[in-house]
């Protein structure tokens, strides 16, 4: 896409009755640089664009001469292609799509955020990425640079907060926990979030979906924290089992006794529960739990492109297969077979007939 930054800078400068020399002094660059900008011999640095746009009281998009509607359509296509790729665990395809989008729209923060995300998940140690450690070093400076740029310049608060969380995590992963913690501390507290405060401004027709969205979010967060408590070795094995049992009760309460096929959380959680049963030499319980987990993993892999789940608390919630995001292209059942069930905790039951049958079931 051809940009017309030079023509626009020249037009705006002349409208202000400013000479090239005066503009060069304002932006602390040489007069030759201004001339090169205006003849499209080169473009201003990306970080200069917001400064120039602000001076001329315009937007970066208008400064760059882009048709906003056309840009939005093209950007949405990039975002859609990215979402399809991430739903299949195609991490490097996500990187390629995001880089291509940023190359075409260097100041689009949705695409910059997606590029940061793609580079970030390419460093995941829980996916089928053999070179994840190398990626940690390879992409660290780029992830940090993208995050800092988004935080400093992006006008969209949600994107800024997302980038802040991801950047903080990156610093922690790279051993810079003090830096990461400072960033985390800049995030708003839960009590001051939109979800907790918006109620008072809602119309009556908006309140029911708002309540149910909050219930869904809160249930997911509670499930995660219970999983972390039970699997983090903070409690005895006996108490951890009790927490897992309460997690199952919570899931049953939320979904009216039905298992939600879109909820991948339970597969990983129940494997951790089975590990503890195996350690406690409760073989029957371990096998029973793994059978349930295997069935859910297979159901998840075979889910339709879209569907819905319904319960009293959550109402009818539609979902699409592409909404799922993962850094691992392997089907859930294969990851369960090759990764989760390879844990040493299962060595005591690995050679049993029942365990081998589970492995065969997951291989189909």
Instruction: Tell me which H or E stretch contains 328.
Output: none
Mean pLDDT lowest for which of 25-39, 56-70, 232-246, 280-294? 56-70
For residue 10, the model assigns a pLDDT of 92
For residue 21, the model assigns a pLDDT of 94
* pLDDT > 70 fraction of the chain, expressed in percent and rounded: 97
pLDDT digits (tens, 9 = 90+) for 172-229: 999 999 999 999 999 999 888 888 899 999 999 999 999 999 999 999 999 999 999 9
pLDDT(342) > 70: yes
* Mean pLDDT in residue range 339-364: 96
Q: Which domains does the chain have, with CATH numbers?
A: 5-63 (1.10.260.40), 68-187 (1.25.40.10), 202-363 (no CATH)
pLDDT(76) > 80: yes
For residue 104, the model assigns a pLDDT of 86
CA dihedral 292, 129, 217, 208 (to 10 degrees): -90
The structure tokens 């005895």 sit at: 236
Averaged pLDDT score across all residues of the chain? 92
* Mean pLDDT in residue range 79-88: 97
pLDDT(3) > 70: no
pLDDT digits (tens, 9 = 90+) for 118-129: 999 999 998 899
pLDDT digits (tens, 9 = 90+) for 265-315: 567 899 999 999 999 999 999 999 999 999 999 999 999 999 988 999 999
Tokens of 220: 């997911």
Confidence of residue 51 (pLDDT cuts 50, 70, 90): very high
Tokens of 63: 């400064």
Confidence of residue 332 (pLDDT cuts 50, 70, 90): very high
CA distance 172 to 360: 39
For residue 66, the model assigns a pLDDT of 66
Which comes out higher in pLDDT, residue 68 or 277?
277
CA 181 centroid distance within chain? 19
CA distance 106 to 80: 18
Rounded alpha-carbon distances, angstroms, from residue 109 to 50, 82, 148, 184, 225: 12, 15, 12, 21, 31
């Amino acid at each position: 896409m051809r940009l017309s930054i030079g023509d626009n800078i020249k037009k705006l400068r002349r409208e202000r009755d400013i000479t090239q020399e005066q503009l060069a002094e304002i932006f602390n660059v040489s007069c030759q640089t201004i001339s090169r900008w205006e003849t499209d011999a080169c473009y201003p640095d990306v970080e200069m664009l917001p400064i120039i746009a602000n001076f001329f009281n315009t937007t970066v998009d208008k400064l760059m001469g882009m048709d906003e509607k056309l840009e939005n359509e093209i950007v949405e296509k990039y975002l859609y292609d990215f979402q399809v790729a991430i739903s299949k665990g195609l991490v490097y395809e996500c990187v390629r799509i995001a880089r291509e989008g940023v190359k075409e729209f260097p100041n689009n923060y949705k695409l910059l955020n997606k590029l940061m995300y793609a580079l970030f998940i390419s460093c995941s140690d829980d996916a089928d990425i053999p070179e994840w450690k190398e990626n940690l070093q390879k992409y660290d400076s780029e992830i940090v640079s993208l995050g800092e740029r988004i935080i400093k310049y992006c006008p969209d608060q949600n994107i800024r907060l997302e980038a802040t969380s991801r950047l903080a995590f990156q610093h922690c992963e790279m051993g810079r926990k003090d830096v990461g913690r400072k960033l985390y501390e800049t995030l708003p507290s839960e009590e001051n979030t939109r979800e907790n405060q918006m109620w008072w401004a809602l119309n009556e027709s908006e309140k029911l979906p708002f309540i149910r969205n909050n219930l869904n979010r809160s249930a997911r967060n509670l499930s995660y924290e219970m999983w972390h408590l039970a699997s983090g070795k903070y409690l005895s094995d006996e108490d951890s089992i009790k927490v897992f049992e309460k997690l199952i009760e919570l899931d049953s309460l939320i979904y009216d006794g039905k298992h939600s096929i879109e909820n991948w959380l339970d597969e990983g959680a129940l494997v951790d529960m089975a590990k503890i049963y195996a350690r406690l030499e409760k073989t029957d319980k371990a096998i029973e739990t793994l059978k349930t987990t295997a069935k859910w993993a297979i159901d998840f892999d075979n889910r339709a492109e879209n569907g819905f789940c319904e319960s009293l608390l959550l109402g009818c919630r539609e979902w699409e297969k592409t909404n799922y995001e993962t850094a691992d292209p392997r089907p859930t059942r294969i990851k369960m077979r090759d990764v989760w069930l390879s844990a040493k905790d299962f060595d005591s039951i690995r050679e049993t007939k029942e365990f081998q049958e589970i492995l065969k079931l997951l291989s189909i």
